[in-house]
Structure 1
Amino acid sequence: MRIIVTNCNTTGQMTEEIVRGARAAAGPGTTVAGLTPTWGPESAEGWLDSYLSAAAVLDALRTYDGPAYDAVVLAGFGEHGREGVRESVDVPVVDITEAAAHLACLLGRRYGVVTTLDRSCGLIEDSLETAGVARNCAAVVGTGLGVLDLAQDQARTESAFLAAAERAREAGAEVLVLGCAGMTGLHRAVGEKLGMPVVDGVGAAVRLAESLVGLGLTTSRAGGYARPLPKRRVWGRPAG
Structure 2
Amino acid sequence: MKIKVIAPIISDIFNKEMLEEFSAYASSETKVAVANLSYGPASVESEYDEALCIPNFLEKAKEAEAEGYDGVISNCFGDPGVKPAREILDIPVIGPCEASLLITSSLAKSFSVVTVLPNVVTMIENISKTTGVSEKLASVRYVNIPVLEVHEKDRLKAALYEEMVKAIEQDHAHALVLGCTGFMGVAAELQAKLKDNGYDVPVIDPAFAATKMVETLVSMGVKQSRLTYMTPPSKQRVMN
Fold similarity call, TM over 0.5: yes
TM-score, structure 1 normalization? 0.92
Greater mean alpha carbon deviation, residues 191-200 or residues 9-18: 9-18
Q: Does structure 2 retain, via aligned residues, the 8 Å contact 1:79–1:123?
A: no
Say which is worse superposed, 195-204 or 142-151, in terms of deviation: 195-204
Q: Which residue of 1 aligns with 2:3?
A: 3
Q: Secondary structure at the match of 2:167?
A: helix
Question: Partners in 1 of 2:211 and 2:19 — Cα distance?
Answer: 10
Match for residue 228 of structure 1 among 205, 214, 232: 232
Q: Measure how far apart 1:103 and its partner are.
A: 1.0
Counting matched residue pairs gives 234
CA-CA distance at 1:129 after TM superposition: 1.2
2:161 matched residue in structure 1: 162
| Ranges in structure 2 where 5+ consecutive residues have no aligned partner | 196-200
Gap change, CA 1:135 and 1:16, over 3 Å in 2:
farther
Written as runs of structure 1 = structure 2, the 5 A alignment for 1:45-194 is: 45-64=45-64, 67-151=67-151, 153-169=152-168, 170-194=170-194
Q: Which residue of structure 2 lines up, in the alignment, with residue 14 of structure 1? A: 14
Unaligned stretches of 5+ residues in structure 1: none
How far apart in 1 are the matches of 2:180 and 2:85? Answer: 19
Q: Using the alignment, how far apart are the partners of 2:122 and 2:115 within structure 1?
A: 11
Match of 1:206 in 2: 211
Q: CA deviation at 1:136?
A: 1.1
Q: CA RMSD in A?
A: 1.5
Deviation at 1:55, TM superposition (A): 2.3
8 Å CA contact 1:54, 1:79 repeated in 2: no
- Paired with 2:15 and 2:52, the residues of 1 have a C-alpha distance of 17
- Residue 63 of structure 1 deviates from its aligned partner by 4.5
- The answer on 1:197 being equivalent to 2:202 is yes
1:166 maps to a residue whose letter is V
Q: What is the SS of the residue equivalent to 1:57?
A: helix
Measure the CA separation in 1 of the matches of 2:8 and 2:129. Answer: 20
Q: Which moved more, 1:103-112 or 1:51-60?
A: 51-60
Shift of 1:66: 6.9
Contact kept in structure 1, 2:96 and 2:207, CA below 8 Å: yes
Letter in 2 for 1:42: A
Q: Which amino acid aligns with 1:231?
A: K
Q: Does 1:216 align with 2:215?
A: no
Identical-residue share of aligned pairs (%): 31
Structure 2: distance between partners of 1:64 and 1:218: 15
- State the alpha-carbon separation in 1 of the partners of residues 155 and 101 from structure 2: 25
Q: State the Cα distance separating 1:167 from its structure 2 match.
A: 2.1
Matching residue of 2:198: none
Say if 1:83 and 1:225, in contact at 8 Å, map to a contact too: yes
Q: Distance in 2 between matches of 1:26 and 1:225?
A: 27
DSSP 3-state at the match of 2:21:
helix
Work out the CA distance in 2 between the residues paired with 1:134 and 1:15: 32
